[in-house]
Structure 1
Amino acid sequence: MKRTSAVTLIVCAVIGAAVGVVLDVALTAASRATFTPPYMLPILLVLLGLFCLAFAWPIRRAVRDPKAPRPDPFRAVRVAALAKASSMLGAATGGFALGLIGYVLTRPVAVGLGSLTAEIVTTIAGGVLMVLALIAEHMCTLPKDPDERESDADSAGAEPQF
């Protein structure tokens, strides 16, 4: 499994921002109030990032400690997949909240401080989730088996057989 690339995270953030702007435009066109994220959302995003770190910590400890038994690779892959999905979710949610902020600030009507605060805090929490998930994904990197390293070195100098 490859690590999450910056391009993937940027694409998620841009798509999230576009969805945020389109949602607010549609709500305004329907003469409704713009969307304000609930205050529980940033808390849940940060908690998800902390859970990713908590799940990845035993894998990192097992990899770093030479006396510890080798960690279960399936568990490491599951935690890495959770971390990868969480980093993309954090980027998309942060982008979504940025889109909401961008639309609200470009309107000629004065903005309520409560809605703007919720959007700013959600943007920050999305960024925190993305960073914590990327750290957790890095912690789930397992070293290659000694047998695999030797076979890679042997196959690098050998001619291909057809």
Structure 2
Amino acid sequence: MTRTRPGLLALLALGAGVVAIALQLGLGAVGLSKIVPQVTLAVTLVLIAVVVVVIALPVRRATRAARDRAADAPPRPRVDPFYATRVVLIAKASAVTGSLLGGAAAGLVGELLIRPVSAASSVWAGVAMLVGSVLLLVAGLLAEGWCVLPPDDEDQPPVASHP
């Protein structure tokens, strides 16, 4: 599995922001109430980010132990590969979701700020959603990075010395 690319995350955030602005303007044009994110969404995103980091900790400990282990040290217990795979998938999904929701939150906040009249509570709720989304994105990328195995010494080709 390849690491999540920053360009893809930026493209997803940009697309979600454009869709959010267009949706807000369309809702306003037909006379419907506009979307105002709830603060509980931001709290939920932060809690999910914490869970993603916590479930990635055993994998990080196992990969660091494999890298830092001395040659004469007893082997550490290995992490279940199915567990590690699930953690990587959850981390990747969290990064993509954080990017999409962050872009949408930025679009909502941007549209709220260009309105002639907007409630301050709506703007702060949008900013809270943006912060929660960015934390979810960072937690996903961090957990994904923790699941990278160090290269094995026997898998590396010998380094040729030049005279």
TM bucket (normalised to shorter chain) is 0.7 to 0.9
Equivalent position SS for 1:50:
helix
The whole-number CA distance in structure 1 between the counterparts of 2:151 and 2:83 is 16
Tell me, yes or no, if structure 1 residue 8 matches structure 2 residue 8. Answer: yes
Q: Deviations over 1:49-102 (max 9, x none)?
A: 111111110011112223422222222121111101101111111110111111
Tell me, yes or no, if structure 1 residue 47 matches structure 2 residue 55. Answer: no
Equivalent residue runs for 1:10-159 within 5 Å: 10-65=10-65, 66=69, 67-107=75-115, 109-145=116-152, 149=155, 153=157
Aligned to 2:72: none
Q: Deviations over 1:25-56 (max 9, x none)?
A: 12101212211011111111111111111111
Aligned in 2, Cα 1:90/1:127: closer, same or farther, shift over 3 Å? Answer: same
TM-score, length-scaled by structure 1: 0.86
Q: Deviations over 1:89-128 (max 9, x none)?
A: 1111111011111112222x21101111100111111111
The whole-number CA distance in structure 2 between the counterparts of 1:42 and 1:72 is 32
The whole-number CA distance in structure 1 between the counterparts of 2:133 and 2:120 is 20
Q: Structure 1: which 5+ runs fail to align? A: 158-162
The whole-number CA distance in structure 2 between the counterparts of 1:85 and 1:21 is 24
The whole-number CA distance in structure 1 between the counterparts of 2:12 and 2:136 is 14
Question: Could you say which structure has the higher helix fraction?
Answer: 1
Could you tell me the percent identity over the aligned residues?
Answer: 34
- Count, aligned residues: 152
Q: Let me know the Cα RMSD of the aligned residues.
A: 1.9
